[in-house]
Amino acid sequence: MKTIIKTHKIFPKIDGILHGGDYNPDQWLDRPDILKEDIRLMKKAGINCVTLGVFSWSSYERREDEFDFSWLKKVMDDLYENGIYTILATPSGSKPAWLDKKYPDAIRVDENGIKAHHGMRENHCMSSPNVERRIRVIDRKLAENFADHPGLLMWHISNEYTGYCYCDNCKQEFRRYLSKRFDGDIEKLNHAWWATFWSHTYNDFDEIDPPFMNGERSILGQNLEWRRFNTWNVCRSMKMEIDTLREVRADIPVTTNFMCLFEDFDYRVLAKELDYTSWDAYPFLHNDYESLSDTLYDNAFNHVLYACMKKDRPFMLMESAPGLVNWSPYNKYKRPGIHALMSFQALSCGSDTVQYFQIRKGRGCSEQFHGALIDHLGTDDTRIFKEVEDLGQKLLRVKNIQGSVRKSEVAVIFEWDVRWAVKDSWALSNETKNYDRTVMDSWKELAKMGMDPDIISSDDDFSEYKMIVAPMLYLLHDGVGEKIKEYVEGGGQFIATYFTGYVDKDTLCYLGGFPGQGLSEVFGIISEEIDTLYPKDSNEITFVKDGRKALVKDYQELLRVKDAKVLATYEQDYLKGTAAVTAKEHGKGNAWYVGCRLSPEDMHHIFDMTLDAAGIKGRSIPEGVEYHIRYADDKKYEFYLNMNAESVTIENVSGWELLSDKECNGSVTLQKYEIAVVDDSV
């Protein structure tokens, strides 16, 4: 684990952290005074880059094949002359009205087969040949005009890909995709989809529809392939855009902006085609149902998820809100200090950018009240402007962290196929399945123990981790059972839970005992029953070693213990006295199995045991303080983020604190929402 981490700088032209945001000058072309003032304000706030053109298609091409990029040229030039770089978006995120009118196949059909109408955004049909052709044309024009502009840093492909279409073109693409997936053999598909069920055998790929809401929903393999197809199809469209740009000039990096834990597409598939991952972070802050620390830990989960998709390089915080968003259930302002705290959270998890939606509020339409650096008021003395300006100064002090990256000895598995399959499974309770929450809770608990854990896929390399936690790994990709076996044999600590290894990649149940793929041998148990509790139900378990009790909610399995050691047993209900938590030594490692849903605190107790077995020492981080580390060459930057409204002192900290530019001697005290970035290689 002592390998030297190689520094990777995303933007050599920018010496430090990229500080930017989405900017829509095309809304203000009749107000050159405002465009000029914007540059003054941006410079004052330390903005060194803007994202342009995300929704500018109709500004470039007001009518089909009538192009005008003059305004963009002028704006990019002016910005560049003022030291502000540009990330340039392809405009496919929103299509012009003329396009929808001329090419109705551009408009999507919904899950009941009802065609939509022109409007909104991120909703072109990914299978429409007309849309594809028009995107190729506009992207190529854009590249031809701006690929060599000295201000250009990066291509931003489309915007926040969203949703599925059920039109005839998509239907045909789905059939072609399936035919390829099943080698053109309908019997392979029938078997994989268990199609004899309810007489649903297909004779031909042409008989297959998308899983319409008012159509076939009972074939779970079909439902899952539909999600995989849509990932493939959006990825195909994205690659088409990337290829079009690269045909003009190949060396400009590309990204697209992901969204939170968005479910529609397996982002890992898209990430493979990108140079950098980036995402738009909009947590619901200061809400009345959880602590700020809880809200922000979930935000950190996302940061780490996207960081781990490309572990050898930083990622980008493409969007965040100065002040507030305007589309959440309660549009509450960030309290003073939160803006810097959250921006540094992104950096602490491996981002080399702090970017905003948006630089200036537009006067009309549905985002007119979305937070921005520049308000309708238009001055440089608003609370929000001053907080951004202050952050701009802080970013200069940590410019050396750029290019440094994460590493960890511990990982948690989180997987789109599992999310989809768990959600679609007819089992447990749809009210309490909560796969995402369950994974996030384990990750958060490990983070609180100072582990700064990675988030990976079951297909990723396990070799660099001493311990891996895989909550509810219901669906197993091919080979994962063998991989876990080898990992444990080689000395790894692998922690699985209830509802693991029930189905294969096509959602067919394993025969002969869960978990399948040989894992019941590895863990030394078979799960005979998974029992769902009602919300008011509970059970209790007792740990053999220390008599500690733990509450069981939602799910409990009846385990057959083969050759595992029983660590805890049930206290009540029909499972009384049977095994609830087990471990089996297997080769040099251990395979741990948690057969019931426990609270994060009780999972903490189990992680104490597994970390001990892994030879990892946890670190005592005060409640409400987040701790993340970035590595670069021989450097190590430790981030401490105080999410508490009170001051807190962290012990065992030494090194040079970059924001205060002072040395830490053994401890550091952080005020409310304060941040420390300690270079401990000094």
Asked about 160 being catalytic, the answer comes back as yes
Alpha-carbon distance 564 to 568, whole Å?
12
Asked about 389 being catalytic, the answer comes back as no
Strand 257-259 vs strand 85-89: parallel, antiparallel, or unpaired? unpaired
Span 553-582, contacts to a second copy by CB under 8 A? 558, 573-574
Span 506-525, contacts to a second copy by CB under 8 A? 506-514
Alpha-carbon distance 524 to 350, whole Å?
39
Strand 454-456 vs strand 410-413: parallel, antiparallel, or unpaired? parallel
Stretch that binds a second copy, among 106-114, 242-250, 540-548, 604-612 (CB under 8 A): 106-114
Considering the complex, state which of residue 10 and residue 195 has its C-beta at the smaller distance from a second copy: 195
101 binds a second copy (CB under 8 A): yes
Considering the complex, state which of residue 27 and residue 233 has its C-beta at the smaller distance from a second copy: 27
Alpha-carbon distance 375 to 116, whole Å?
34
396 binds a second copy (CB under 8 A): no
In 3D space, the residue among 446, 440, 463, 466 whose CA is nearest the CA of residue 618 turns out to be 446
545 binds a second copy (CB under 8 A): no
Considering the complex, state which of residue 493 and residue 644 has its C-beta at the smaller distance from a second copy: 644
Q: How many helices and strands in the chain, by DSSP H and E?
A: 17, 27
Alpha-carbon distance 380 to 79, whole Å?
18
Kindly tell me which residue out of 11, 23, 55, 174 binds a second copy, with binding defined by CB under 8 A.
Answer: 55
481 binds a second copy (CB under 8 A): no
**394: Cβ contacts below 8 Å, ≥ 6 apart:** 340, 344, 659
Q: Which residues partner with 89 through β-bridges? A: 156
Kindly tell me which residue out of 536, 545, 661, 666 binds a second copy, with binding defined by CB under 8 A.
Answer: 536
CB of 388 to a second copy, least distance (A): 14
207 binds a second copy (CB under 8 A): yes
Considering the complex, state which of residue 52 and residue 609 has its C-beta at the smaller distance from a second copy: 52
Kindly tell me which residue out of 7, 48, 51, 56 binds a second copy, with binding defined by CB under 8 A.
Answer: 56
Asked if 659 and 675 count as a contact pair (C-beta separation under 8 A), the reply is yes
Residue 536 CB burial class (10 angstroms; 0-12, 13-18, ≥19): exposed
652 binds a second copy (CB under 8 A): no
How many residues of this chain bind a second copy (CB under 8 A)? 116
Kindly tell me which residue out of 91, 314, 350, 392 binds a second copy, with binding defined by CB under 8 A.
Answer: 91
Considering the complex, state which of residue 168 and residue 247 has its C-beta at the smaller distance from a second copy: 168
Q: Which residues partner with 35 through β-bridges? A: none
3-state class (DSSP) for residue 620? coil
E strands, 74-134, are: 85-89
Q: Which of 319, 387, 626, 674 is an active site residue? A: 319
150 binds a second copy (CB under 8 A): no
Asked if 318 and 278 count as a contact pair (C-beta separation under 8 A), the reply is yes
Span 577-616, contacts to a second copy by CB under 8 A? none
Asked if 209 and 171 count as a contact pair (C-beta separation under 8 A), the reply is yes
287 binds a second copy (CB under 8 A): yes
Kindly tell me which residue out of 8, 44, 118, 136 binds a second copy, with binding defined by CB under 8 A.
Answer: 118
Alpha-carbon distance 339 to 649, whole Å?
22
36 binds a second copy (CB under 8 A): no
Span 330-389, contacts to a second copy by CB under 8 A? 330-333, 335-336, 361-370, 375-378, 382-384
Site string (420-459) toward a second copy, x via CB under 8 A: -----xxxxxxxx---------------------------
645 binds a second copy (CB under 8 A): no
Kindly tell me which residue out of 185, 243, 529, 612 binds a second copy, with binding defined by CB under 8 A.
Answer: 529
Alpha-carbon distance 328 to 350, whole Å?
27
Buried-exposed string 363-400: b where 16+ CB fall within 10 A, e elsewhere: eeeebebbbbbbbeeeeeebebbebbbebbebbebbeb
80 binds a second copy (CB under 8 A): no
547 binds a second copy (CB under 8 A): no
97 binds a second copy (CB under 8 A): yes
Stretch that binds a second copy, among 111-119, 275-283, 312-320, 594-602 (CB under 8 A): 111-119
3-state class (DSSP) for residue 318? strand
Considering the complex, state which of residue 337 and residue 450 has its C-beta at the smaller distance from a second copy: 337
CB of 594 to a second copy, least distance (A): 19
Element (H, E) at 644: none
**95: Cβ contacts below 8 Å, ≥ 6 apart:** 57, 106, 124, 131, 134
Q: Which of 37, 122, 160, 273 is an active site residue? A: 160
Considering the complex, state which of residue 148 and residue 206 has its C-beta at the smaller distance from a second copy: 206
329 binds a second copy (CB under 8 A): yes
Supply the residues annotated as catalytic. 160, 319
